[in-house]
Amino acid sequence: MKARDSQLSERLQTGFLGVIAFGLILALLVQARFILVCLAFAIIIFSLTSDAISAFARLKVPNWLATTLALIAITVGVLWAATTVVGQVNEVVTTSIAYTDRAQRVLATLSERWGPKAQENIATFLGNIDVAGWIRSAASQASNLISGSVLILTFVGFMFSERIWFPVKVERLTGDPARAQLWLDTVHTIMRRVNRYLVVKTGISAVTAGLIWLIFRGAGLELAGAIATLTFILNFIPTLGSIIATVVTVAMVLAQTGDPATTLALGSLTTVVHFVIGNIFDPMLLGQTLRLSSFGIVLALAFWGAVWGIAGTFLAVPIMVAVMIVCARIPWLRPVAVMLSQEGVPEAEPPSRRLRMASAGTEAPTRDP
């Protein structure tokens, strides 16, 4: 009886300490949000660039030259992306404020067909919307990209300076070459899967943005470039991104044309583009890359969006991939990885088995997870 009470007390104590630790970690994630978000983006950029440097190394390019070129490319690319986004947001701000009154008049006219009660509700709803305030807030958030870009570049520079020493540090930290190789293999697996996801997603987003640009240009509407850029960026947010992009596109068409028929036609065409790419090509190209549960992705979006805001929704999938792979390689956390995976198979084959077979002189059948 005493042994059972002791075990119960230990479990309660462990659970209590776990809750406290989770609360402290959550508080740290919220309080250090800006630094951690910049660090996460820096890790992703470093991961993508490391693959490029490895490719140059196979072409007999000196490591110092490849690293220098990579840093120059990263600096130019990050600063160009930040200034482009800020410029497009400012363009949307300037144009959208001018169209706000027109859009409200159009909605008020449409509401007259639905009866006085609907007209009153819509008028109340429109009166409570501070569109100009929302747009200015978005512009203010976009201006933070410049300062964030400088911090990201700083992080990336230090990561490159520590790049060649990372395997040595892991080996000395673990004190076991086999275990060090296991963790290095875990890091490389995360990098490969996240890199593949980002490359494929970038291509899909570029195609989607190009089609939206063609629709706007073909209809002779303004802000074609800005809406295409917004569509490209939002497409990196699973599920919700395409919905938000469609709503923004339809709203801009309605505000510019004031014609319900034109809005319906272009809105339907935009919806078809997002639906076909998001539900046919996206799963076909990313299905074997992610292997993530759809419900898990929604939960990750909700959690990281609440903790880190808009940036958290962009980072939700890469973080979820990393968590699933790490949990899959820790025996007592493997059930978590199974629940996060799409088909209950987080990895094609645990690396521990590959290492055992390699040490036995047998080549294991490998398939990149």
* pLDDT at residue 82, rounded to an integer: 79
AA identity, residue 301: L
Residues 6 or more apart from 38 whose CB is under 8 A from it?
Answer: 148, 151, 152, 155
* pLDDT at residue 210, rounded to an integer: 93
What does the pLDDT look like over 91-116, one tens digit per residue?
766 666 666 666 666 666 655 656 56
* pLDDT at residue 214, rounded to an integer: 92
How far apart are alpha carbons 293 and 72 in whole angstroms?
38
* pLDDT at residue 64, rounded to an integer: 75
Residue 36 near residue 43 (C-beta atoms within 8 A)? no
**DSSP structure string for 255-301:** HHH--HHHHHHHHHHHHHHHHHIIIIIHHHHHHHHH-B-HHHHHHHH
* pLDDT at residue 212, rounded to an integer: 92
* pLDDT at residue 110, rounded to an integer: 59
Which of the residues in the chain have pLDDT under 50? 348-369
What's the whole-number average pLDDT of the chain? 78
Cα 174 versus chain centre, distance: 31
* pLDDT at residue 41, rounded to an integer: 92
Nearest to 44 by CA among 181, 251, 194: 194
* pLDDT at residue 211, rounded to an integer: 92
Burial class of 206 by CB neighbour count within 10 A (0 to 12, 13 to 18, 19+): middle
Residues 221-243 as b or e (16 or more Cβ within 10 Å = b): bebbbbbbbbbbbbbbbbeebbe
> SS3 breakdown of the chain: % helix, strand, coil, rounded to 5?
85, 0, 15
Residue 195 near residue 47 (C-beta atoms within 8 A)? yes
Q: How many helices (H) and strands (E) does the chain have?
A: 15, 0
- Here the tokens at position 331 are 């025996």
Cα 105 versus chain centre, distance: 36
Residues 342-352 as b or e (16 or more Cβ within 10 Å = b): beeebbeebbe
What does the pLDDT look like over 300-341, one tens digit per residue?
888 998 898 888 889 998 999 888 888 888 888 888 888 888
* pLDDT at residue 22, rounded to an integer: 83
